[in-house]
Amino acid sequence: MRMINWFRKSITCLFLPVVIVILMTACNGDNSTSTVEATEPARTAAAQTAAPHPLPTPGNDDAQFYWWNERVFYEIFVRSFLDSDGDGNGDFAGMIEKMDFLNTGEPSPDENLGVGGVWLMPIFPSPSYHGYDVTDYYDVNPDYGTMEDFKRFLDQAHERDVKVIIDMVLNHTSSQHPWFIESQDPDSPYRDWYIWSETNPGTIGPWGQDVWHKGATGYYYGVFWGGMPDLNYRNPDVVEEMKEVLRFWLEDVGVDGFRIDGARYILEEDEELADTDANHQFFEELRTHVKHINPEALLLGEVWTSNFAVKQYLEGGELDLAFDFDLAGAFMNSAASGRADRALNQLGFSLKLFPPGQFAPFLTNHDMERVMSQLGEDWDKAKNAATLLLTSPGVPFIYYGEEIGMVGRKPDEKIRTPLQWSDEMHAGFTTGFPWISVNPDYPEKNVAGQSEDPESLLSFYGALIELRNRHEALKTGDTYLIKSEAPAVYAILRVSGDEILMVIVNLSRDPVSDYRLSLLDGPLGGSYQVVPLFGEGEFTELTSTQQGGFNEYQPLMTLPPNARFILQLK
C-alpha cells in the first residue's frame, strides 16, 4: 500500500481571550448538556523576546508522557475484520494475515497505515455477536480461534512494536454466565455475586430505562439490560476474582492494557447509579493492583458523560486515559457545519480539564453512526474531520473502516459490518457467507482500491499518521489555539522543544481570503520561515510580537476550499 506524503499539516493551540460558551453533549444513551464559560488561555507559555529564535518555553514543564502518547490507536471488531476459514466470522488468524495493513514494523510509511496500538472489542466467549455479555473471562471466543491463536496475534503485533489492549467488561456478565446461573439459587454462595432483591425497587436508570429485571427467584439489577446482570463489587470475593482476571490477561497472556467498558457504573450508592464516590475508590484500588502487575499497563476508561465528570477519573489517579466524547462531538460538528468554533472551544476546555495529553480524542466508535454517514458521504468533510483528529493533542483512536469511508447507521449491527478489503465477493472479507451482509458500496469503496490512489481517504489517513509518528510536536507538543477572523478556519499551534508546527484547516467548501490569524500570547520570538509539511504553497514569513504571539497573519492570500496545511516554523 502506497501511503505517500502528498499533503502535510500543522497543529496548534492558544486559548482565545474571550468568553467561550459551549454546548457539550455526552452520555451513555442519554443526552446531557453542559454550558461553560472560559475567559483565560488554555495554556499560556512565557513570552520570549530575546534571541531571534529562542527555544519555545513549554506550557507544562512537569507534564508526563507515556508509551501511549507516542501512538495512534485503531479499534477492531474481530468478528468483522477478516475471516480466515470461511465460516463468516472474523478471527485472530485473519488479523495476523492483515497485520501488515496496520503496521509492517518497517520504517517505510508507504506500505502500511502506521498505527502503533490496537484496541480489540471483547474477545471472550459470549452468547451475543458483540461480546459485551461475557460467559468466561479466562478464555477467548471460539468463533475467533483459540487462546494460542490469540497469543500468536499478540506476538505478531509486539514484533512490530504494536501494543494491544482488550475490552474488559467489568460491570456485568452475561445472564448465561455460570456465576449468574448459580446465583439464582438463594442459598448459593454466588447469590451475593450479583445484586438481588425480593421485590422490584423500581429504580429508573441513567437514560430512563428499567434497571431491575425479574428472575426466577427475585429481581436482579442490570443497568444495561436483563441479559447483562451487574456484578456486586461490594462483595470482596467479586473484587478479588476480577483482579485475578486482570492479572491473568496481563501476566499469563501478555496484553498491554485494558479499555474498561461502562466504567461509570461499577458501584452504585442508593439512587446514585454513576460516578459515585465508591466507584472512584474502586478504580483507585484497581489501578494499584494493575500497576503492581505491570507498571506500563494502560487503563483506558469509557466514561461516556461530560468531561467535568470524566476528569475526576484522571486527576484522581484512577485511570491513565479516558475517551473525550465531548471533543469527538465537537470535531464532528465542526466538520459537518464548516464552522471551527465548536472544535476550538471544546479543545480549549479539554486542555484545561485534563492532565497534559492524557485524553483520547476520536471521531466515532462502535456505538455511534459512522463518520461518513454523519457527514452525508462528503469526502472533503471526512478528510477535514481526520485532520482535526490526527493533529490533536492526546491519544487519537480510529474506528476500523473510517479510514476508507465506510458508512453505517443504527441499529448497532449496521455500524459494525465487515471491513471492505477489495471489490471481490463479500468485499474480500470471507470466502463463505459473512455473519452480516457487507455494505453494498464495497466495489467502489475498499482497501485495495484506495491503497493505490494517492488522493484516497486511506492514503490521506496514512500520510497524516506517518507525519504524526515523525513529529514529536504533534504527539506530545504544547497546544495553542489561534484566533481567525473567518468562522470556517481552524488553526492551532503545536510546540515541542525547538519544533513549532502550525495547523490550518479551511472547513468550508469556499475559498477564504479574509481569515487573519492571531495569537495573543505564545512561545515565539523573532521571524520565521514557513515551510509546508502537509499541503503545498508559498507561505508568507511570520514575525512574532513581544508577547510571543502574532497579529493578523495570513500565510497565503487565499485559503483554497477545504485546504489542510501543517506548516513548520523555522
Rounded Cα–Cα distance for residues 159 and 285 (Å): 32
Contact 103, 90 (CB under 8 A): no
Contact 301, 358 (CB under 8 A): no
User: Is 210 marked active-site?
Assistant: no
* Annotated catalytic residue, options 261, 402, 478, 521: 261
Q: What are phi and psi of 536, to 5 degrees?
A: -130, 150
Tell me the longest C-alpha to C-alpha distance in the chain.
78
Contact 15, 41 (CB under 8 A): yes
* Annotated catalytic residue, options 75, 256, 268, 302: 302
Contact 8, 505 (CB under 8 A): no
Rounded Cα–Cα distance for residues 525 and 50 (Å): 7
Which residues make beta-bridge pairs with 76?
120
Helical spans, DSSP H, in 271-395: 277-293, 307-315, 325-337, 341-353, 371-374, 379-390
Q: Are strands 397-399 and 212-215 parallel, antiparallel or unpaired?
A: unpaired
Rounded Cα–Cα distance for residues 273 and 366 (Å): 24
User: Which grid cell sits at 87?
Assistant: 465460516
Rounded Cα–Cα distance for residues 77 and 75 (Å): 7
Residues 6+ apart with CB under 8 A from 462: 1, 3, 109, 112, 113, 114, 403
3-class secondary-structure state, position 533 = strand
Rounded Cα–Cα distance for residues 300 and 257 (Å): 8
554: Cα separation from own chain's centroid: 32
User: Is 136 marked active-site?
Assistant: no
Instruction: Report CA-CA distances (Å) from 274 to 126, 312, 441.
Output: 25, 13, 40
User: Which grid cell sits at 122?
Assistant: 471483547
Catalytic residue positions, numbered: 261, 302
